[in-house]
């Protein structure tokens, strides 16, 4: 695949990050003429717009770019619509036109069949596997080498500070609390990807206090939709020639997220990457100096990209200077962790409006961390802020025997548990799990451990994984051999079933008799002859009623 034409935005010649080594002119004068001057080290970053589940295509494009440019990418940033779909059950929680519902290739990275060749970080957009991302409110690994940022987050990579905000802006849901999890009802699968005021409020706590002598907190900011008003700082006419439908929204000042623009002006990140509108657009926002001691960059470079489609510029390369001794690893940001601790009481699980404190009220509204609070974070993490590689499978990986009607369960994610326990904050994943009594699932990795502890007994294989016959088959999501024959009796909702053994063997109903609604234990003993059971009125798998097609029903010969 030929690499797309890309442009490499360069950092200003005078702009050096806070952690880059300082090279004084006096040292350069004393250097012998035979010694070459020390070269600045750069981080090679690939920025992708909307991924739309096309990870194979994106990684293939990056490989072609590496070969043509004779370089190596260190980090891939995906700006939303990543579509981290683990199986067909996840696919049902993605809000998208049915004709665009595709499994994609992420499930192969989730299962471990493939490993991302580049460290990848992404935020959520408006077309996501909401059920999976809801397990990681504070972010975490969704596969090996692939990190999700959560509702909002700040992490470090190679010494650079990267902020992220998932979702898109809708004013009707902006002040509501986070509450969405499977099963999604009454439009919850839509509101699940809407930005909330809590996340914006937390990001604003990263701002410097007046007169505070510390550098800016963000090198890179990632959002899915554009900051509202960003079109004032770029070639708007060129944008309108390509996207004529934007004209009215731009004139009415309703294109993009107004809260994101406040973050841009307040935090002044060096780079801002977005997607969502499926076009390439760049802008430069220049910031005024607020004081004499200025650590802030003079401008924010904004870049939006398209999607993996013909004639779309969906990926570009950016070089950012870093320190010579910077390690290519993800780390928690202590300032952000302190913000999470200070604002933990503001995060509420409710569909009702939750208004953030403001300076016009009587309650406390400034939760910017002090140096002592930041030091407390270091103590809680024992001075090791490296993000652990603790990814584990929660939902079963995709198998070709899966059906699109399998109900989606919600799981406790051990990454959320470990992070919240270390930081001593509320585990929002646990709160959502406790509210999801009818669709609670036992994590796939835990079921594997339980099987091993029971003597190595494996679950009955109902079909090989679609990617590798040598991999261990995924377990039945609803328990041991969950299969129900249903007559006219009401069937218990599958999500409420305990994932345990079968209590008793189901009996085949006589003709005209109602079927006993119980789990059927599939026997592995070979029978001498197979006698098909009589057809019942309906067949139910989990909570799905299968309608018999005419070809399935034996027809009598016409006289």
Q: How many CB atoms lie within 10 A of CB 522?
A: 11
Domains: count for the chain: 2
What the block records as the tokens of 544 is 């799905």
pLDDT tens-place string over residues 359-396: 888 889 999 999 999 999 999 999 999 999 999 999 99
What the block records as the tokens of 423 is 């930081």
Cα(176)–Cα(325) distance, integer angstroms: 43
Cα(508)–Cα(79) distance, integer angstroms: 53
Is 522 a residue whose pLDDT tops 60? no
Pairwise pLDDT comparison (63 vs 494), residue with the higher score: 63
Contact 193, 125 (CB under 8 A): yes
Pairwise pLDDT comparison (461 vs 434), residue with the higher score: 434
Is 273 a residue whose pLDDT tops 90? yes
For position 34, what pLDDT does the model report? 55
* Burial 221-243, CB ≥16 within 10 A → b, else e: bbbbbbbbbbbebbebeebeeeb
Is 106 a residue whose pLDDT tops 50? yes
**CATH number of domain containing 172:** 3.60.21.10
The domain of 92 spans 39-332
Rounded to two decimals, what is the model's pTM?
Answer: 0.76
In a domain, 8, yes or no: no
Q: How far is CA 309 from CA 54, 223, 278, 313, in A?
A: 10, 21, 10, 8
Q: Which of 308, 332, 356 is the last residue of a domain?
A: 332
- State the pLDDT confidence band at 297, using cuts at 50, 70 and 90: low
For position 442, what pLDDT does the model report? 94
In a domain, 204, yes or no: yes
Q: Which of 332, 350, 373 is the last residue of a domain?
A: 332
Cα(156)–Cα(499) distance, integer angstroms: 39
pLDDT tens-place string over residues 320-354: 999 999 999 999 999 999 999 999 999 999 999 99
In a domain, 189, yes or no: yes
Cα(434)–Cα(427) distance, integer angstroms: 11
For position 311, what pLDDT does the model report? 85
In a domain, 425, yes or no: no
Find all residues with CB under 8 Å of 269, minimum gap 6, and list them: 163, 216, 218, 219, 220, 221, 297, 300
For position 291, what pLDDT does the model report? 56
Cα(391)–Cα(424) distance, integer angstroms: 21
Beta bridge partners of 410: 440
In a domain, 451, yes or no: no
Q: How far is CA 280 from CA 61, 226, 314, in A?
A: 17, 12, 8
In a domain, 14, yes or no: no
In a domain, 226, yes or no: yes
In a domain, 33, yes or no: no
Pairing relation of β-strands 484-486 and 315-322?
Answer: unpaired
State which H helix or E strand residue 66 sits in.
Answer: helix 55-69
Q: Which of 332, 357, 384 is the last residue of a domain?
A: 332
Average pLDDT of the chain is 81
For position 378, what pLDDT does the model report? 98
pLDDT tens-place string over residues 439-498: 999 999 999 888 888 765 544 343 444 444 444 334 333 333 322 333 333 333 334 434
Q: What's the rounded mean pLDDT across residues 266-291? A: 91
């Amino acid at each position: 695949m030929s690499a797309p034409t890309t442009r490499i935005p360069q950092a200003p010649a005078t702009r050096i990050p806070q952690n880059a080594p300082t090279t004084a002119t006096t040292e350069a004068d004393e250097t012998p003429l035979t010694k070459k001057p020390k070269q600045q080290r750069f981080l090679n970053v690939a920025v992708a717009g909307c991924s739309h589940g096309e990870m194979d295509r994106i990684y293939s494009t990056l490989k072609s770019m590496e070969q043509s440019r004779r370089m190596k990418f260190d980090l891939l940033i995906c700006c939303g619509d990543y579509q981290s779909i683990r199986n067909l059950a996840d696919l049902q929680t993605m809000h998208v036109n049915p004709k665009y519902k595709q499994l994609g290739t992420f499930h192969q990275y989730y299962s471990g069949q493939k490993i991302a060749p580049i460290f990848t970080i992404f935020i959520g957009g408006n077309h996501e596997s909401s059920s999976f991302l809801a397990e990681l409110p504070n972010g975490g690994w969704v596969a090996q080498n692939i990190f999700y940022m959560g509702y909002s987050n700040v992490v470090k990579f190679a010494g650079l500070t990267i902020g992220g905000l998932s979702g898109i802006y809708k004013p009707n849901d902006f002040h509501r609390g986070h509450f969405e999890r499977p099963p999604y009802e009454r439009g919850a699968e839509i509101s699940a990807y809407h930005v909330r005021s809590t996340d914006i409020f937390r990001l604003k706590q990263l701002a410097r206090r007046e007169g505070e002598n510390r550098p800016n907190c963000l090198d890179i900011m990632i959002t899915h939709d554009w900051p509202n008003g960003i079109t004032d700082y770029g070639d708007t006419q060129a944008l309108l020639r390509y996207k004529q439908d934007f004209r009215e929204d731009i004139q009415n000042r309703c294109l993009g997220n107004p809260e994101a623009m406040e973050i841009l002006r307040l935090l002044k990140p060096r780079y801002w990457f977005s997607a969502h509108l499926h076009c390439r657009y760049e802008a430069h926002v220049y910031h005024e100096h607020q004081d004499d001691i200025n650590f802030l960059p003079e401008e924010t470079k904004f870049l939006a990209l398209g999607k993996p489609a013909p004639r779309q510029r969906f990926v570009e390369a950016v070089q950012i200077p870093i320190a010579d001794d910077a390690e290519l690893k993800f780390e928690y940001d202590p300032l952000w962790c302190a913000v999470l601790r200070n604002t933990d009481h503001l995060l509420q699980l409710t569909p009702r409006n939750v208004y953030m404190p403001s300076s016009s009220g009587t309650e406390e509204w400034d939760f910017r961390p002090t140096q002592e609070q930041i030091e407390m974070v270091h103590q809680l993490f024992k001075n090791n802020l490296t993000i652990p590689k603790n990814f584990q499978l929660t939902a079963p990986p995709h198998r070709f025997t899966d059906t699109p009607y399998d109900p989606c369960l919600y799981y406790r994610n051990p990454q959320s548990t470990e992070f919240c326990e270390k930081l001593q904050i509320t585990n929002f994943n646990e709160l959502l799990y406790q509210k999801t009594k009818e669709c609670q699932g036992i994590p796939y990795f835990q079921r594997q451990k339980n099987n091993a502890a029971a003597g190595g007994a494996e679950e009955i294989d109902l079909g090989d994984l679609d990617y590798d016959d040598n991999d261990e088959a995924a377990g039945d999501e609803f328990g041991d051999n969950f299969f129900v024959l249903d007559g006219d009796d009401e069937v218990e909702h599958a999500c409420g079933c305990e994932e345990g053994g079968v209590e008793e063997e189901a009996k085949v109903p006589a003709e005209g008799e109602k079927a006993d609604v119980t789990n059927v234990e599939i026997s592995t003993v070979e029978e001498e002859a197979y006698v098909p059971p009589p057809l019942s009125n309906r067949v139910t798998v989990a909570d799905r009623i299968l309608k018999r097609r005419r070809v399935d029903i034996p027809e009598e010969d016409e006289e």
